[in-house]
A and B are shown apart, each in its own frame.
Chain A
Amino acid sequence: MAQKTYMQAINDALREEMERDSNVLIFGEDVGQFGGCFGVTKGLFEQFGEKRVRDTPITESAIIGAATGAAAAGLRPVCELMFVDFIGVSMDQLFNQAAKMHYMFGGKISIPMVVRAPQGAGIGAAAQHSQSLEAWFMHIPGLKVVLPATPADAYGLLLTAIRDDNPVVFLEHKLLYGVEGEVPEDAGPIPFGQANICREGTDVTIVAFSKMVYSALEAAETLAGKGISVEVIDLRTVTPLDIDTILNSVKKTHSLVVAHEAVKVAGVGAEIAAQVAESAIDYLDAPIMRVGAPFTPVPFSPPLEEAFTPGAEEIVAAVLKIRS
């Protein structure tokens, strides 16, 4: 077992895939010698050279579009958006091109590309550098959407993402980069669509992903002190969505809370709540609760950002509300 950071785990997965497959290449803004804005691609330029680790101009539309074209022409590009917010500049290339080509062309062309992007609030970066946008991507058929919470998952899911023959949006939480965890020496790809039950419990199910998994575990600990046994499910990927694991858990606990950092309105939690209501409403003893950010842009000032960002406290409150 090796102890490493989330960032190192991503870096390792990139390096190993590049060593394994010469069709894998990286490009994006400042990903070369600079090593990426957050340092995720450090050392890769030195090892693989400019041909495979390439700085682009500031040109997100062309970054996503070029990854799409390169993938259509047989490469396996992994491109980086410095912040997920910048997807706004390149939406067409991802949503209308990359996501739809396989289907529109009757399965004749595949787009094996990965878009890596950090998301999330917590560094005082304000409205255009702090969003959590997974629901946007989840809404588009043709994309796969990955949100690892731990270093081991970041590693294993990125291997899978790079080997997948579809466009994959790989969302890293910027506050997780420094988080350490065990990554087994013999770790391999982790299949998409297999949620991880990270804590077993009998009274209530909490579904989370990305950084919110830590808040869910913290909440579970607090609730255990109050005699409430919580099951925590880390989804790992929202497309594909492991609805079976959620349903099985709900059939056992009879209550469900879905928690994410993104704005609650029309978030992933809404989709999960709807699917559970459709399939298992008779098993529920309480309303399904969603924990998410308020319906506002991300504010700058620390007390505002703090008020914006949901965490363990909000999850505990949601559970207590349905348990009282």
Chain B
Amino acid sequence: MTKSKEKMIQMYMTMYRIRQFESKLQEFFADGKIPGFVHLYLGEEAVASGTCAALRKDDYITSTHRGHGHVIAKGGDLKMMMAEIFGKSTGYCKGKGGSMHIADASLGILGANGIVGGGGPIAAGAGMAIQYRGEDGVVVCFFGDGASNQGTTQEALNLASAWELPVVFVNENNGYGISCPTSKSMAITDIADRAAGYDMPGVIVDGNDVIAVNEAVSAAVERARKGGGPSLIECKTYRWRGHFEGDACTYREKSELDEWVKKDPLPRFSKKLLDDGILSKKELEKLHAKIDTELQEAIAFAEESPLPEPADIFEDVYA
């Protein structure tokens, strides 16, 4: 199998892994099994998958409140993720963080973030560390259309461009920040237009086309690795679920969702894999079964794991 075929299969598996993981969470939340609140990534899988397939293990990402997809795509462990979301002591953050705060330093995941726009300056700082050490790593900053309006995001874009930091800003434009459509939160249509103000490339891609995302991000990553500085890539996509589970989505038309569900990134890509003879139907089913088993194991692990002890609150306040 050629490298590129292998990569195509990996990208598909990542999308399927995210899809199944999030679908399970949707169920668990409805059943009252998950404390706190949960923001699902359903419908946006191609962005995380295509982006992280352009990265090495030692590259960094900063994530958002809608972070499960990013963490899975960067190689996050499903068991530890599920356990964290269940609030168990075996979770990524020992139950201290929950859905919105998953991090894995060994994979360069500098954390999901409960503060919209919180990740931008952190991504710039990680880029600074790479530049300082003279390495060729890259940082991807995932951020939403809503986050693009925060001062922190604009400050990070400026710093990254002024200092030519190796940061790729991957915008997930799903059309809304909670109930607020981009038509009301900004005067422009394309967030990529903002790149011009920082003298960096600004590219628009179909965020439901994993190959398009991967190609655009790969080009930006190569540029950054060679010292060419930051880029902004705007991925047009859509979130299928409410902002958080429980949001009735009264602010958008069902027909709009229906149109986007027709552009489901998964069948679109699996059809291509089948049509191009990269996978047979049988192989695809086998891959699905493998991931389904992996997920079942993660769920069992989370369910069987113990809750943290009250005294654990005092651990980890300081290093």
Contacts and interface: CB of A to CB of B under 8 A. Distances in A.
B97 A127 contact: yes
Contact of B35 (A295, A297, A301): A301
B100 A126 contact: yes
A101 to B, nearest CB: 20
A133 interface: no
Contact of A128 (B114, B149, B309, B313): B114
Interface of B: 35-37, 87-89, 93, 95-98, 100-101, 113-117, 146-147, 149-152, 177-180, 184-186, 250-251, 307-314, 317
A127 B100 CA distance: 10
Contacts, number: 130
Contact of B317 (A57, A296, A300, A303): A296
Contacts of B178: 29-30, 34, 37
Contacts of A307: 310-311, 313
B141 to A, nearest CB: 16
20 contacts: A33-B251, A37-B178, A55-B185, A57-B185, A58-B116, A58-B185, A89-B150, A124-B98, A125-B36, A126-B98, A127-B96, A128-B101, A296-B314, A297-B96, A300-B97, A300-B98, A301-B89, A302-B35, A304-B95, A307-B310
A301 B95 CA distance: 5
Given A30-B180, A301-B87, A301-B308, A126 B97 contact: yes
A175 interface: no
Given A33-B179, A58-B149, A126-B98, A302 B310 contact: no
A59 interface: yes
A300 B35 contact: yes
Q: Would you call the interface of chain B mostly helix, strand, loop, or mixed?
A: loop
Given A34-B251, A57-B146, A127-B114, A300 B101 contact: yes
- The size bracket of the interface on A is 35 or more
Contacts of A106: none
Contacts of B307: 301-303
Contacts of B88: 301
Contacts of A59: 149-151
A274 B87 CA distance: 39
Contacts of B36: 123-126, 300
Contacts of A128: 100-101, 113-115
A62 interface: yes
Interface string A57-70: 11111100000000
A209 interface: no
B101 A303 contact: no
A108 B37 CA distance: 46
A227 interface: no
A57 B313 CA distance: 35
Contact of B310 (A123, A129, A303): A303
Nearest to B177: A58
B150 A30 contact: no
A161 to B, nearest CB: 26
A58 B87 contact: no
A225 interface: no
- In this complex, the member of A32, A58, A61, A86 whose beta carbon has the largest number of chain B beta carbons within 10 angstroms is A58
A306 interface: yes
Contacts of B100: 126, 128-129
Contacts of A297: 96, 317
A56 B35 CA distance: 29
Nearest to A302: B35
A57 B93 CA distance: 31
A124 B185 contact: no
Given A37-B178, A128-B101, A307-B311, 20 more contacts: A34-B250, A34-B251, A58-B117, A58-B177, A59-B149, A59-B151, A61-B150, A85-B114, A89-B117, A124-B87, A126-B101, A299-B95, A299-B96, A300-B36, A301-B308, A302-B35, A302-B87, A302-B307, A306-B310, A307-B310
B96 A304 contact: yes
Contacts of A124: 35-37, 87, 98
B151 A300 contact: no
Contact of A30 (B149, B179, B309): B179
A308 interface: yes
Contact of A55 (B97, B116, B184): B184
A129 B113 CA distance: 11
Interface string A239-251: 0000000000000
A294 interface: yes
Contact of B180 (A55, A85, A89, A308): A55
B162 to A, nearest CB: 20
B95 A89 contact: no
A88 interface: yes
A159 B179 CA distance: 28
Contacts of B152: 89
Which 6 pairs across A and B sit closest by C-beta, in order of nearness? A124-B36, A301-B95, A301-B87, A300-B98, A128-B114, A307-B310
Nearest to B312: A304
B117 to A, nearest CB: 7
Contacts of B311: 307
Nearest to B186: A57
